[in-house]
Amino acid sequence: MNTENKFKLIFNSLSCNEAFARSVIGVFALQLNPTLSQLTDIKTAVSEAVTNCIVHGYPNSIGEITLEGIINDDTLHINIFDSGVGIENIDKATEPFYTTKGEEERSGMGFTIMKTFMDDIKIESSLNNGTKIYMTKKIN
């Protein structure tokens, strides 16, 4: 039996909403009965993606971030979108330790953490049109 459940949440790019997004995805993922380790991985990946939207997508303004969660059978799909400044070079941005905010003590590990903790990640971005991050995690 193919089961699907989904949600869509839009929130402001305020740092306090990073924890909100993390909590929402954690509660949503519980219906797949993940291990504590899997749940932590999911929440951490979402935290990194949302933080990137806040810090890099909207560096000098408040914008909207969209978080979508979709469950198909035993797989969690997470989509995170912003309409911010975009990423000039995705290959460069996904290199470990690369950051455009070195003066703010950023580690440049956000995309590396997302790739490590999720089964699949895809990034689409264009300058001045925002960034879309698609992540999946299969829960056995």
Decide if 106 is catalytic: yes
Can you give the pLDDT at residue 114?
87
Cα–Cα–Cα angle for 2, 4, 12, rounded to 5 degrees = 160
Orientation of helix 36-52 relative to helix 110-117, angle to 10°: 150
Can you give the pLDDT at residue 85?
92
Decide if 48 is catalytic: yes
Nearest to 42 by CA among 116, 118, 110: 118
Catalytic residue among 18, 22, 48, 79: 48
Can you give the pLDDT at residue 129?
94
Say how far apart CA 125 and CA 100 lie, in whole Å: 16
pTM metric for this prediction:
0.88
Segments of the chain with pLDDT less than 50? 1
Catalytic residue among 64, 72, 106, 124: 106
